[in-house]
Amino acid sequence: MRDLDYVAAVTATTGGGAVWLGGVAMPNRRLVLRWLRRQALRLADGHGRDLPAASPWLRAGDVGQVTFHGTDAPEGLRAWAGDDGLQDDALRALECGLPALLTVVNPAVGLRVTLAGWPVRPDQRSTGHRSAGDRSAGNRGAGDRYRLPAFAGCRGA
């Protein structure tokens, strides 16, 4: 059995607490980012209508629909998914051992949807994973104000 070195999760938070919308474990950071990007587009495209068809890739279960009140959150999800620079920043964060986070906010109802991917240290593979908030580079969304910082100390950055 191959080690799964990265995990990804999507959660929704309201005043009443957090709800797990779905997640996966993957063998590399590119697959984690690909899954997160797909979920961002599914959530954005499902706003107000049926979600696109589920992934044909058996291990990559897709998250369910979230109803947004307004267009800011879906636009933020689309902008993040379509920005090559933000995708590269997320890959570098994962490469450096940091989580890649995106949080969009729907202020009309106090809803926050967070997409997160993070590496799993070898000693955590059998006992679970660390919180997406540990050693966080911060919550990120679409646009320049949400760019991950440059990781000068990381190889490949």
CA 83 to chain centre: 14
One digit per residue, the tens of pLDDT, for the chain of length 157 reads: 356 699 999 999 988 889 999 999 999 999 999 999 999 998 998 765 555 565 565 456 788 788 888 888 999 999 999 999 999 999 999 999 999 999 999 888 889 999 999 999 766 544 443 333 333 333 344 433 333 334 444 654 4
Number of H helices, E strands in the chain: 3, 4
pTM, entire model: 0.74
Q: For 86-138, give the DSSP string.
A: HHHHHHHHHHTT--EEEEEEETTTTEEEEEEEEE--GGGTTT----TTTT---
- Give pLDDT, residue 96: 93
Query: What 8-state DSSP symbol labels residue 6?
Result: E
H or E element: which one contains 7?
strand 6-14
d(C-alpha 126, C-alpha 130), whole Å: 12
d(C-alpha 156, C-alpha 92), whole Å: 7
